[in-house]
Chains A and B, each alone.
Chain A
Amino acid sequence: MKSHTPARSRWRRLGIATSAAMLIAGMAGCASVNVAAKPAATFAPQKQDSTSTITIWADATRVPAIQAYEKAHPDAKVNLVTFSTSGTVFQTKINLFDKTGSGWPDVVFDSHLTDLDWAASGKTPFAAPLNVELKGAGGQVFPSSKFKDFAKGALDPCTIDGTVYCVRNDLAQNVFWYNRDLMDQFGYKIPTTWEEFENLGAKLSKEHPGYVLGSVGDALQAQVFFWGAKCPINSLNGNKFSANTSAPECVKMAKVIDNMVANGSLTTDALLGNTYPGKYGAKTLGLVGPAWFGQYIFSKVLQVPAGKVAAAAPLHWSGDAPATGSVGGGVWYISSHSTNLKAASALVNWVTTDTGIQSIASTYPAYVPAAKAWLDNPKNTSYFANDVGPVFEKAAGQVWNGWSSTSRADPSNNWASFVIPQVIQGKSVVETLPGWQDQILNLAKSVGYDVSGKSK
């Protein structure tokens, strides 16, 4: 192909430019239509077929429970699909099914509480409402008698305006974990407040350098330290979101962390990373973490032998009412698209409230009678050096309700990707607080929350 003569190409360019300009002008004129249209939610059950097979999505940990259900209920028609609950896999798939209009599973186990927000909104929300009478579904999807016996606050992460959209599987209340052998050997007293925790850190770093009281490097540490400190940076009220990192609780906690990172009693190496277990596995005097940390982190990741690890009451501010944070906890969703809500509900009911199956679950059950059975099972508690039952039960009701576990502007991700890199580069947490707040509020705005009432 030979190139055009300059004159012709100039005319052509002019033509393209003119039409592009006209196109843009025309489009700008129409820009008054709402860009972020959010369709209103409606829910009507599908035509029910009590003989249809239900599809279950669950992570590998939950597979034995489903298999046990199939064994106990030979007539149940269950199609089990194992999937990874990490990341946004669940949401991604549901979004795509929403686009294509078919393919949804009937029941989903989810390890993120933050999914409620999208699962219960949209044109046809994925999550079926579980505690309201539904025409065509034969009443309420999940038996109300069972809902009464869940731990206090356990269903909060499943509830929007009084409607329950999921069933809590397990709790993740934070407690203070410690290595009793080390504690005895060093002659230290177990801290009960954040102030004592900070003092213990100072003492530890002086007398036993190299030993630590945990890490601040993971995303989840925001829920350990700032949720536990009652720092109001994740407050969701309806669609109104607010974050205020300059609140006294936040600044106090930032200072505790700064001092402890400076003296080495808290590390920035992520607890769930590769460095921590080898470097600090045997040198962790104690740390704040959820109920599932005992057997998962101490036993499997840090490989602390049985009979050493003990749990104590969660830390709180001196002179303040006891409060704690929470890290994780799974929930079960029932699909609003299911053609067999009865079978789906029966399965969820069984896996969450059957004391037999929950007593051998890997994590502390949210259903109170099941939690008692869990604590009675020596397999769950023989690893520990003390009786964790009273500690777990008490802490379960102390989770601070000012931190929304369902908000999608959860400060944890920003903590790990925005605050921690700066701390590693030498900045203090206190210095990063204003920037962190901007990050949290920007994120909240981008996912559709109203942040107009922000206080600075």
Chain B
Amino acid sequence: MRIYEDLRAVQTRVTVIQYVAVALVAFLMIAFWHLQVVRGRYYRNLAENNRRRNVPIAAPRGILRDRNAAILVDNRPSFNVVLSPEQTLNLDRTIGKLSHLLQIGEAPIREKLPRRGAPPRDIVVKADASRADVAAIEARRLEFPEMAIHVVPLRSYPLGAAAAHVLGYVGEIRGDQLQRANYHGATAGDIVGQFGIEERYNSELMGKDGLRVVIVNSRGAEVGEDKELSSAPAVGPSVTLTLDAGLQSVLERAFAGRSGAAVAIDPNNGEILAMTSVPAFNPNDFAVGIDAAGFRRLQNDPEKPFVNRVTQGIYPPGSTFKLATAIAALEERVITPETRIHCSGIYEKYGRVYHCHELGPHGSVNIEQAITASCNVFFYEVGVRLEIDRLARYAKMLGLGIPTGIDLPSEAAGVMPSREWKRERRGEDWYPGETPMVAIGQLSTVTAMQLARVVAAAATGKRVTPHLVKSVGGKNVPVTSPLDLGFRPETLQVVHRGMRGVTSPGGTGWRAGLPGVPVCGKTGTAQVVGKARLAKDSSADVQPHGWFIGFAPAENPTIAVAILVEHAGGGGKAAAPIAQQLFAHYLGVKLPPAPGAPVPVVPEPAEAEPAPTAAPTPAVIAGTAP
């Protein structure tokens, strides 16, 4: 038995190993010193960022109210079914379950999943889920903790399609909008105004989004909230419009089944009381996010439901233009109220023959009678006496062919022809033979909004700036005050008398008349195709558009309207009854119950006055602002 082995060589090598251990531990201590003490602050930040996640809370947009505080646009709570993909243990099973519970395909869910390698984030599987969906998901919360229901504010338009073009709609912000002023403060993914007041007043309506700083665990599940860093969302200020919801609904009802544009304003200050453009869209359809196909279908619809026909649809004014010619003639004294011109049915000038309409000849008429009868020959002559420059100056002064300045986006201007305009646009000299046609409303194009402004100016002698917003967050919005055009009272009185004749029994706009309240009006016809084609083709879409513009009461008017019914054949038949409804509701006049009840004493005159031999000006609908 060996009791003492010689272990010296072994012991030397043990010492080597001991010092190797010391060296290794020392190395680790240095490494940890560097990690924890030298770079400790850096890693502390990383750890904090790891566990904090910022969850924005969408601020509800401001509410829109009408002039009587009735709610036009509201927010309602909606339920989104949300999936946190990184929290699921078996994504395929979860997606299959969701697809089954919500009755949606698996493909649309998978499309929304973040791409591989992208940071984990929640996806909205179904927006604005029904109560049944919510119940189905809630019942399986324990089994599928990765599913959640989020409550988000959703824009709601209780009026549906009514005033859709005024109120607009909301949708996710587009890339090109991020830089624009009225989207200041919005970031990608935000829901912003895309049309109408929602667009124009977007920055005012947007509230301030809140922020929840939540503490999440490594699976992304929320385990707490950092209240100090979180902030509550601030609701956007409510906006009060000049609209009258009651009048608006009367207008929508009266317009049902037709297409066209109508606007009613207060002629004293330009406040818009009602406005509709038909066909319209239902902004509720976009609140959740319409499918791309549905949106494209609306965009490509030949009826152009996305065009606000009141401010963006440009049409020939037809005989409604004669008000401008009449005012210009009286103000420029090329005629007096007593001047009589003989209408033989035709007017010969510059080697051409201009026709009056079917109801002529009118014989010897003065200005008042000429307005009532819409005598073309009278206005041909007056136009020739005025010449184009003076006529164009008055038309523009009244607001024709220039934007009205309404607080809606993308307003169309239309065209008021003049010597200058023709030289600039066509490079041609003015042909005097065109002046008589301009005088009766040919060759120019206008919007319904412009004509409402013109008829308001004819009513009060003041040009107003039409506007829709009264106040934002309780503070009144500054408006351009009405501009006195300096017309002589006598001029306006004569024009009013002629316009009263229009709405009187036997006038072209008799259907706009009210029992007991004198009403002023003027009808017009906007040609779509030439007379020759009209004679051959009787289909609806070549029929001319019908105008009615007017105001009531005749003395101290409180409401002025411009109504265009597309393919109506004439203004008196389709547009004037709509005006009557508006006047009656606004002025509180009770109408006889049956529609079209009063039988006129005289035989019904044909609708207005198809144009002379000149080439027709087709109606133009502008898609966007010029």
B is a partner of A: no
Interface, chain A (partner B; CB < 8 A): none
Interface, chain B (partner A; CB < 8 A): none
